[in-house]
Structure 1
Amino acid sequence: MLNWLPGRPKPDIHTQIAALSRFQDRLPGRSDIRVKLAGLYLHLGEFGKAESVLGQKVCLDSPDALLCHARLARHRGRASIAEGHFYAAQALGSKVALAELGRLLVEQERYEEAVPLCREALATDPGDFVAAMALCRSLIALNQIDELGQWGGACLALGQWNALAPTALAHANQTELLEGIVSPKSSITSMTNIVDADTPGQLFEQLTEHTSRSKLPASNAGKGGGWRISHLLELGIPSVETLFERIKQGIRERALGFDAPTDWHPLHCVPENVGLETWANIFAGDGYEDWHCHPAGWLSGVFYVDVPVSEEGSSPDGQIEFGPLPISGQNDLEAWPKQLIMPQKGALLLFPSYFGHRTYPSQSSRPRISIAFDVVPKTGH
């Protein structure tokens, strides 16, 4: 039985930026405020604004400041500067600097140097997705496929869960270990008619012009034209609240009934306390999501508010595809076959959060709107 913990109201990113900008004007000597503000701009991909905020006065007095400068330098192509800042942040106790340093080294094809750093980061936090991705890319580049499979198998056998483990096993062709946990037929469920027929129309009107929508964050998988509304369930929209009550009911009825053949299947490890992370995606015709998964989640889902119809009127566009993540640049793997699903207006898809997935552009003048969520394990009551 899942115990749903209430979410805490969070201001949208533009409200946060406005508040921090006011604090910055009133307290120009506070470097921590500049660092937080620059971090939000980095999240949105507005690197010029981030650099302007940080450039008012160089502040390298804390791990957070060093990380912010390092991330900006990395995006600007200043690899040696970024590397120095990451090392300095790690020396000051940053728990994420090693993982980000490993990723930076992989981008420079310095795979042998990246491996021990990533392993050290994962020894501290087995769920560190950035470190895991850098490690797996390095092992593939070094042709150490056995080590790749050993890492993925250890994550499952030892309970050191990392959402990249099934993908690593697929690239290592560990078919037996993957049996039962990557099958779309047993792991992906589609539900229709979970809300009244007029609900999608109400949601369409309420979401397309909502004041909390923002450009697609550069740090997420969304590409092309479109908008995102974060913390959707906490905005007080009645139709959204009704939708998620039905989604919770659907999860109780269907997701907890998945028949997994092995004891370490994540869907068998039902968390006692969970929270919901919710957002809406509003994609223009060329908007889509690149391959990604949801590392923090246990179960994920998407409800289709509106799906454009193709020019010929034959079928809806904007398909969603499931499969392993393309660690090595490709993911056509026998151990984990990909699966295309045609979305339907008013339908709900539920799937394990470790499933890689992407969407295709609709090429329609009408926006493609979906409401997505993660069921995230929580501690406390």
Structure 2
Amino acid sequence: MPIATDKLEPAREALRAGQMERALALLGPMLTAAPKDAELYYLRGMAYSNSGRLREALTDFDAALMLSPGAPPVLFNRALTFYRMERLEEALADFELLVKVDPNSVEALANAGIIHLRRESYSQAVNHLQRALALAPRQPQLMRSLANAFRGEGKVDQALRLHLDVEAAIPDDAAALTDHALTLLTSNQVEVAQSYYLKTLRLHPGDQTALAGLYMTANELGQTELIDTLMDYHRLLACSICGPEEMLDLNSLRASILSHEHLTWEPIGRSTRRGQQSAMLDISSRAPFSHFGQILRSFIARRFEDLEVAFSSQAHPWLVVRPSHWRLQVWATVLHEGGRQSPHIHPAGWMSGVFYVDVGDAVGEDSGALVFGHPPHNLPLSADAREWTHRPQNGQFITFPSYFFHHTLPYAGKRPRISLAFDVIPTTSPHFQ
């Protein structure tokens, strides 16, 4: 029999208060007593999800849906869990099913539209986002996503009109300004686009997307001095080979990555092609990648010190917001024969980098090389990129500003090319991992 509603209230209260361990402790015995109660599985799934234990959350949401098929709250939260696990096709299927169950669900329509946008299914993104906006008129973030979908469809004039509406609603929003700038750049309005990137940097110094846009526009406009500053590879790039004193076992790292349960083939919305990418890895104490995390933190700390020396007498638009507090996020990339990564930046980071676990058995000098300076190929840019090519080695760290466009040349080799990418994410207070 289902557990009485009043007996569920302490667990619900623990969830509302953010006391996930208490909620789990309360819900476990209840599920033992009532193993066919869908509500209990749903509540425990929420507790697991809020604790970051996504696999356990997914198991409980699945159980709840077996007992109560199509239940909207469970479908929605399972979709969000899939999304957080980078299983976007499954997330999209749940959001689409939820739209059928509840055609007026703005959240389901919006999330489905955003996934279609990441998949570059622009017409489907437009359809879903327009339906969401009809239900929630003038919602700025929906308008911004729809403008981006219009740009992807090639409807630049419609996108620009919508960007103006977004700007009127949220004039100081960094993402809205840089999205508008990108649409201007797409329509060859380079100088106007640059004015938007500069405005973003005045409002949000160090914004990585704006710095990347400033590089693109400066390059198109032939502003050599500004390009020299932004793409100062000699001082902004750093490489270091991990020494034997750090006792990092590359073979063990390689095995842990290749056996990782959350490696996804060509994840949607990511730059990896002919390869796999993981969800974020746990580098906390006692986690499988904890020792790597310790070494990485030491390397980043040294890099901060080196940058302070290198730019002690010169201001730089990237270093004006050097974070006092930061955390790391790390993920794995495995490229197979013909694997590559398309040009991209890391907008959430401040500093980014790669550690090369196994560069494989590359055939050819540039096979799998890391190349900096090339913006995405779908932009109408004509100037030659300010390029820098790096040929990686096993056990090597490389760091760079997160606004640097980078991609890999196609990898030719029978053994997988394996790396760990990372971002230094600014935080407002000390973060302990």
* Greater Cα offset, 118-127 or 227-236: 118-127
Give yes or no for contact 1:317–1:360 (8 Å, CA) kept in 2: yes
Mapped pair 1:126 → 2:198: no
The CA distance in 2 between the partners of 1:365 and 1:142, in whole Å, is: 42
- 1:171: how far off? 3.4
Select between 350-359 and 211-220 the one with higher mean Cα deviation.
211-220
State the distance in 2 between where 1:294 and 1:39 align: 22
Equivalent in the alignment of 1:186: 235
The aligned amino acid for 1:24 is L
The code of the aligned residue for 2:162 comes to: L
In structure 2, distance between residues paired with 1:239 and 1:29: 43
Question: Matched residue of 1:326: which SS?
Answer: coil
Partner of 1:69: 112
The structure that has the greater radius of gyration is 2
CA distance in 1, matches of 2:402, 2:215: 16
Task: For 1:351, give the aligned amino acid.
Answer: F
User: 1:199 aligned to 2:224?
Assistant: no
Give, as a single letter, the amino acid of the residue that structure 1 aligns with 2:194: G
Compute the RMSD of aligned alpha carbons.
3.2
- For the residue of structure 1 that corresponds to 2:337, the secondary structure is coil
- What secondary structure, in the 3-state scheme, does the structure 2 residue paired with 1:344 have? coil
Provide closer, same or farther for how the CA distance between residues 90 and 295 of structure 1 changes in structure 2, counting only shifts above 3 A: farther
Q: Which residue matches 1:323?
A: 373
Q: For residues 134-173 of structure 1, what are the structure 2 equivalents within 5 Å?
A: 134-159=179-204, 161-172=206-217, 173=221
User: Residue in 2 aligned with 1:97?
Assistant: 142
TM-score (structure 1 length as normaliser): 0.82
Judging changes above 3 Å, is the alpha-carbon distance between structure 1 residues 19 and 352 closer, same or farther for their aligned structure 2 residues? farther
d(CA) in 2 for partners of 1:292 and 1:16? 32
- Give how far 1:145 is off: 1.9
Displacement of 1:208 in angstroms is 1.6
Count of paired positions: 366
Q: CA separation of 1:252/1:86 partners in 2, compared to 1, >3 Å: closer, same or farther?
A: same
State the partner residue of 2:287: 236
CA contact (8 A) 1:309 1:315 kept: no
User: For residue 344 of structure 1, what is the amino acid of its counterpart?
Assistant: Q
Q: How does 1:221-260 map to 2 (within 5 A)?
A: 221-234=271-284, 236-237=287-288, 238-259=290-311
Distance 1:260 1:34, change over 3 A: farther
1:300–1:374 Cα contact (<8 Å) kept: yes
Structure 1, residues 104-156: CA drift from partner, whole Å, max 9, x if none? 1112222122124335546456332xx45642343134332220121122223
Q: For 1:90 and 1:339, how far apart are their aligned partners in 2?
A: 46
1:351 aligns with 2:385: no
SS of the equivalent of 2:173 reads: coil
User: Counterparts of 2:135 and 2:388 in 1: how far apart (Å)?
Assistant: 41
| Contact 1:316 1:344 (8 Å CA) reproduced | no
Larger helix percent: 2
Cα offset, 1:187, TM superposition: 1.1
Aligned residue among 41, 46, 54 for 2:96: 54
CA distance in 2 between counterparts of 1:97 and 1:53 reads 16
Which one of 149, 156, 181 corresponds to residue 111 of structure 1? 156
Which amino acid in 2 is paired with 1:50?
A: L
Residue 253 to residue 285, structure 1, CA distance change in 2 (3 Å): farther
Identity over aligned pairs, percent: 21
**Structure 1 residue 341, shift from structure 2 partner:** 0.6
Gaps (5+ residues) in structure 2? 1-49
Label 1:30 to 1:52 Cα distance change in 2 as closer, same or farther (>3 A).
closer
Q: Distance in 1 between matches of 2:314 and 2:378?
A: 28
Match of 1:3 in 2: none
State the shift of 1:236 in Å: 0.1
Greater relative contact order structure (CA < 8 Å, 6+ sep) = 1
| Cα distance between partner residues in 1 of 2:383 and 2:310 | 24
1:178 and 1:284 mapped to 2: Cα distance? 34
SS at match of 2:76: helix
Give the Cα–Cα distance (whole angstroms) in 1 for the partners of residues 327 and 404 of structure 2.
19
1:20 and 2:72 correspond? no
Which of 344, 348, 362 is the matching residue for 1:310? Answer: 362
Q: 1:256 to 1:204 in 2, by over 3 A?
A: farther
Tell whether the 8 Å contact from 1:260 to 1:268 is kept in structure 2 after alignment.
no
CA distance in 1, matches of 2:332, 2:66: 32
Q: Which residue of 2 aligns with 1:209?
A: 259
